[in-house]
Structure 1
């Protein structure tokens, strides 16, 4: 027997349409897919442009910061060189043998030039090997003081190199005790013996005055740091406890020291704020200028633009989606109307099963499929017995009710989605059974026949309406045609009626039908 699966209701209009014609590509789905891709493309393009603009804003800020760094580099380098020249001049003059015999005023003028008295310059001192002051830029008679405890003095004492040394910030011993940094060199004899130290002090107020002219914005800063990590100066001005603090172990400073020059964005280890750091070493000096710009300032204009563009893009995408929804709804209504028209064109209006046109199309389609797959195809022809007499006895309305009952019984009996019930004409119905052999067709025919016989009789009748069923089967490959399959089923139906009705007969050669 052929396979029997889930039932199908002959009044199920979607099943009839599936038999009637294959569904085309869903235009509603294509519209939604196209609109979705459009929205995704818009968002991708806008995102790419905004990201590129953000990068451009960072590059522009880095270029501006780099210009500030270069200006500070040049100014600091020029002033440090002036201090270094003053220290070198002091060393050279102090080693002239003829200075010892000249008056103190002349000796003072020879050792110190007028630049030693500029507003931001502290003391310029010449110290002997014990650290005692032997020449002082502030007075002709040297003060009675000893600086052997200073870091720079101890460094020169143990380091024979004549290099310029820049000290940590320290407070002056004289009131009002300003913060200073020292520039010093070792004084040595011809054979390298330590003779003392020449030192010049610069007030940190110089850097405050230099940086004060620069407006880098709120949350940003300009910094001067030694290569040892000592913070020397900053704008905004440093808090007292930060002057001279060592930042040498901070990740950002380590990166700055390693790269030497450039820019990067990172989070500050001091306050946790994100900043754009641009930096450069001051010539060959052990000093680094760092401009740290707050990314809030760097990206403020970009964020404003991004907000407007994002809002406009969001509105545009919502409009596209809204229009898509409107078009989708219109397409859905149109498809529904087309489906209803297709249902009307393929459905028998009285019984709700497929009509003759749909049956012919289904037979052609299933015949071709059976030839390709090599699977059997069966057809049932079902006819209500003595229906003309029943119609004359009960009238057409009751006759129509009986036909609907027969259609319902057929629909309840077939089990597979591919099976199809149709009204062939008048009181005659047909059932197309793909992949069903002779035994399966006969079993289903007997089931339909028995189900009709078990129905309640109509008022005034002794028994229910019975049916005669003719079945035919083709098993590919076959040289037959659809018309021959129909003819065999019709011949089997004739034979069932000829043998007494209320029975099912499979196709066999029989005389031409002359139905009573």
Structure 2
């Protein structure tokens, strides 16, 4: 956990990435919740539509059954010779019960095989009327098994408000031949009133259809739509695939997209269709979705804004810490590493070299006679000299992993990971030559050139020779003493024969051959640095 938090606190951009990821996750969760809410709204609407369709189916089916029983009673009475022999008044009461006087029920008629009306529930003698051209009569002429037939809407009277449908059943003779039909009418006002009592929403619809797609009644009501066929509409075809069901489709009559639940009534069936508009179904869901969406959007924006602000503050803090670290780890005068950073880097490099048995070389570089140079030309010239020497060292040790640090005063230390003794000597020579090439006039030192003495020690993976980083550092320091004693402006390497224990106080006569510069001057018989 600390490691993860450390990664976040060291990389401010991760806070923004994390906030964006969190915002997306929150938006995703909100989207899932809204989707579930939408499905719940649709499910509740489907249940409501199916229940309403069931209620309407049972109401219509019950009333049609009552009327059908009255028609069947007339069929049975007309087929009974004893009933036909009764006096006219009694025969009327036997053939036609009181159901014909119910609200919205029309008259019952009996027509013979030619279509002439021979009995009329309205009274005797019957009205003069021929039904031979009507569909509810001819259907029984053509098919003996037509059963109860429900006609297309028609106007039995003079006013359009009296639109009705006819229910008819075949009369059969003694040998099963066609003998006429019994016809009853049912006013469409019954369906109109029934539909008006239902709650559908602002854009809902109720439709009663014949199985051939003819509209018998519809809400919202329009006279022009009664009797119209929607058999060719895409939304009609699913109504014939099952006796009940639900689907979402676009209405053929008004183009509204609705959830439809339907049920068949009787055989051949009428079809009752309940349509609930999707805009009504999802109206409340849309209001909630807007509210939830706005809250989530504001929260996401807040999280991202806070993360950006926090990342900005953290970035500034890290920049300040980096600057403080640079100030703490960079020598203010020379621009190279401080003694503290040198110790840390040497410890890390030494551990890596020992663990991986890799080479590690160390150079100790000291400015020759710097105290007298400083006393003679002043501190400003001395500071300029140290900066110039540091630049020469840094320019010579420029590989990745090379490190230059100020050891103290006018002394510098160079770490060369992965470098053997021969290569380290070449680097040291480049440093020595570069320092000697510094223009003294640029330092305000007249014609006195600068020079450095360099001690070199190298670890080749043999832990028997150097058991610690202190021993490696001490070996290079001893070689530096020898270089000073050997005449300065020289590079003195630590060989296998010259370990730190073997060279407690080097003298010109006891040191290995140095690599003096051309015209390096005579050797000095003292070992102190200067």
Q: Give runs of ≥4 in structure 1 deviating > 6 Å.
A: none
Cα-to-partner distance string for 1:192-250 (whole Å, 9 max, x where unaligned): 3222222222222221121112231221111222333333211111351x333333454
Structure 1 equivalent of residue 287 of structure 2: 304
* Mapped pair 1:452 → 2:435: yes
Tell me if structure 2 keeps the 8 A contact 1:73–1:282: yes
Q: CA deviation at 1:331?
A: 3.5
Structure 2 equivalent of residue 188 of structure 1: 172
**After the TM superposition, which of the residue ranges 365-374 and 449-458 deviates more from structure 2?**
449-458
Question: Counterpart of 2:218 in 1: which secondary structure?
Answer: strand
Question: Counterpart of 1:207 in 2: which secondary structure?
Answer: helix
Tell me if structure 2 keeps the 8 A contact 1:252–1:266: yes
Structure 2 equivalent of residue 67 of structure 1: 51
Pick the aligned partner of 1:435 from 384, 406, 418.
418
Pick the aligned partner of 2:396 from 413, 418, 439.
413
The 3 A distance-change label for structure 1 pair 148 and 404 is farther
**1:24 & 1:502 partners in 2: Cα distance?**
49
* Mapped pair 1:222 → 2:219: no
> What are the ranges of 5 or more consecutive residues in structure 2 without an aligned counterpart?
507-526
CA RMSD, 1 decimal: 3.0
How many residues in Structure 1 have an aligned counterpart in Structure 2? 492
Question: Counterpart of 1:170 in 2: which secondary structure?
Answer: coil
The 3 A distance-change label for structure 1 pair 69 and 463 is same
* Mapped pair 1:319 → 2:308: no
Question: Counterpart of 2:404 in 1: which secondary structure?
Answer: strand
**1:358 & 1:134 partners in 2: Cα distance?**
124
**2:170 & 2:86 partners in 1: Cα distance?**
25
Tell me if structure 1 keeps the 8 A contact 2:139–2:146: no
**1:450 & 1:136 partners in 2: Cα distance?**
137
Structure 2 equivalent of residue 8 of structure 1: none
Q: Which of the pair has the greater relative contact order for Cα pairs under 8 Å at 6+ separation?
A: 1
Structure 2 equivalent of residue 25 of structure 1: 7
The 3 A distance-change label for structure 1 pair 118 and 344 is same
Q: CA deviation at 1:395?
A: 0.9
> What are the ranges of 5 or more consecutive residues in structure 1 without an aligned counterpart?
1-22
After superposition, residues 83-482 of structure 1 pair within 5 angstroms as 83-161=67-145, 163-167=147-151, 169-172=152-155, 174-176=157-159, 178-240=162-224, 242-268=225-251, 271-282=254-265, 286-457=269-440, 458-462=443-447, 464-476=449-461, 478-479=463-464, 480=466, 481-482=468-469
**1:139 & 1:499 partners in 2: Cα distance?**
152
The 3 A distance-change label for structure 1 pair 281 and 476 is farther
Structure 1 equivalent of residue 523 of structure 2: none
Question: Counterpart of 1:51 in 2: which secondary structure?
Answer: helix
Structure 1 equivalent of residue 528 of structure 2: 515
Tell me if structure 1 keeps the 8 A contact 2:120–2:127: yes
Q: CA deviation at 1:292?
A: 1.1
Tell me if structure 2 keeps the 8 A contact 1:73–1:283: no
Structure 2 equivalent of residue 489 of structure 1: 476
**1:515 & 1:271 partners in 2: Cα distance?**
110
Question: Counterpart of 2:241 in 1: which secondary structure?
Answer: helix
Tell me if structure 2 keeps the 8 A contact 1:456–1:463: no
Structure exhibiting the larger radius of gyration computed from Cα positions: 2
**2:489 & 2:223 partners in 1: Cα distance?**
112
Cα-to-partner distance string for 1:76-106 (whole Å, 9 max, x where unaligned): 1121112211211121111121344344444
Q: CA deviation at 1:143?
A: 4.1
**2:200 & 2:72 partners in 1: Cα distance?**
36
The 3 A distance-change label for structure 1 pair 51 and 24 is closer
Question: Counterpart of 1:443 in 2: which secondary structure?
Answer: helix
**2:392 & 2:210 partners in 1: Cα distance?**
100
